[in-house]
Amino acid sequence: MARNDILSAEGIRTFLCKPLSGCEIYVHGEIDSTNAECKRLALNGSGDFTIVIADRQTSGRGRLGRTFYSPSHTGLYMSLVLKPKADLSGAVLLTTASSVAVCKAIENVTSLSPSIKWINDIYLNGKKICGILTEAISDIESNAVDSVIVGIGINVSTAAGDFPKELQDVAGSLSASGKVNRCRLAAEIVNQLYLLYENLDAAVFIEDYKSRSMVLGQPVYYIKNNVKYCATATGITSTGGLIVRNEDNSTDILSSGEITLRLNRTEKTV
Ligand code: BTN
């Protein structure tokens, strides 16, 4: 960890855009999960753009019930409480918007060029460097969204050999040199998301999403109703769905779930 890379609320606030300068920021040395903490805060009335960051998570959560490896000093584990004026489908757009915001922030802070693997994994040099977990708190009766929690986990400077064995082939880091300032990166992600969130409209960011997509034109596998399909990813819809062409030339639109890229004719689950 670089000497100046200490996470602090004031360090993050310095880099936030003016409209966000008063938002609540909580920085923890260690916590179970920043998403879990945001949920607790949201249920206790915390407002839009409440930011929770931890240096280490003891129960970092990933999509589909997986865990997210969250060692100390070398990652950025951040969650936001958002209060979108949107229904559940509008809130889903926040996942796509978050991927774009993370890529733009990385580009601005490091000059690196990450890619997006549908729906919202961020890759660099063929390895996953960031995962995003979006969760909603909604009112069951009215279906109205009370809060959306966007959780972002970035391997900032984790050395290749420090990942658990099962992740070593698939996980990577932004920079092994430890030169990325995590406060600046965190604030830039929040700033970029704020720009998209103000008038949440896929038309504004879907081209930015597509231009960073690593799956378009690629052969993929996906599973639907327990059937495995071989297909080619051919497009992204205006709301972030993945358009695939199956081997029998039929077309499908995937709106959630997972795909596996078929790289060099060997399966690579990422
Ligand atoms: C995935 O790749 O499956 C999503 C991973 C999301 C991890 C982040 S780290 C910050 C936030 N807190 C969590 O417990 N999970 C998200």
The full DSSP string for 35-49 is HHHHHHHHHTT--TT
Quote the Cα angle for 36-71-156, to 5°.
Answer: 100
In the chain, the DSSP E strands lie at: 25-28, 50-54, 75-82, 115-117, 121-124, 127-138, 145-155, 219-224, 227-236, 242-246, 251-254, 259-263, 266-268
Q: How confident is the model at residue 98 (pLDDT cuts 50, 70, 90)?
A: very high
Q: Which two tokens stand for residue 74?
A: 């070398």
Could you tell which of 30, 58, 61 is best to mutate to test the pocket of ligand 1, judged by most ligand atoms within 8 Å of the CB?
61
Atom of ligand 1 nearest to the CA of 78: 10
Nearest by Cα to 12 from 30, 26, 2: 26
Q: How confident is the model at residue 263 (pLDDT cuts 50, 70, 90)?
A: low
Q: Which two tokens stand for residue 147?
A: 């809060």
pLDDT for residue 256: 76
Interval between CA 47 and ligand 1 midpoint (Å) = 21
For residue 260, pLDDT beyond 50: yes
Interval between CA 253 and ligand 1 midpoint (Å) = 25
Check pocket membership of 58 for ligand 1, CB cut-off 6 A. no
How far apart are the C-alpha atoms of 256 and 118, rounded to whole Å?
9
Check: CB of residue 254 under 8 Å from CB of residue 241.
yes
- CA-based Rg of the chain, rounded to a whole angstrom? 18
pLDDT for residue 174: 95
DSSP β-ladder status, 251-254 and 242-246: antiparallel
pLDDT for residue 5: 84
Q: How confident is the model at residue 3 (pLDDT cuts 50, 70, 90)?
A: low
Check pocket membership of 151 for ligand 1, CB cut-off 6 A. yes
Nearest by Cα to 88 from 147, 45, 133, 150: 147
Check: CB of residue 63 under 8 Å from CB of residue 98.
no
Interval between CA 9 and ligand 1 midpoint (Å) = 20
Q: Could you give phi then psi for residue 190, rounded to 5 degrees?
A: -65, -45
Interval between CA 63 and ligand 1 midpoint (Å) = 7
Q: What is the DSSP letter of 85?
A: S
Check pocket membership of 69 for ligand 1, CB cut-off 6 A. no
Atom of ligand 1 nearest to the CA of 128: 2
Q: How confident is the model at residue 175 (pLDDT cuts 50, 70, 90)?
A: confident
Interval between CA 120 and ligand 1 midpoint (Å) = 11
How far apart are the C-alpha atoms of 59 and 46, rounded to whole Å?
22
Q: Which two tokens stand for residue 20?
A: 């966000």
In whole numbers, what is the pLDDT of the chain averaged over residues?
91
Q: What is the mean pLDDT of residues 36-47?
A: 96
Interval between CA 181 and ligand 1 midpoint (Å) = 20
End-to-end CA distance of the chain: 27
Check pocket membership of 31 for ligand 1, CB cut-off 6 A. no
Atom of ligand 1 nearest to the CA of 121: 2
Q: How confident is the model at residue 93 (pLDDT cuts 50, 70, 90)?
A: confident
DSSP β-ladder status, 121-124 and 115-117: antiparallel
For residue 189, pLDDT beyond 80: yes
Q: Is 142 helix (H, G, I), strand (E, B) or coil?
A: coil
Single-letter amino acid code for the residue at 231: A
pLDDT for residue 267: 38
Q: What is the mean pLDDT of residues 179-185?
A: 95
For residue 129, pLDDT beyond 60: yes
Q: What is the mean pLDDT of residues 97-103?
A: 97
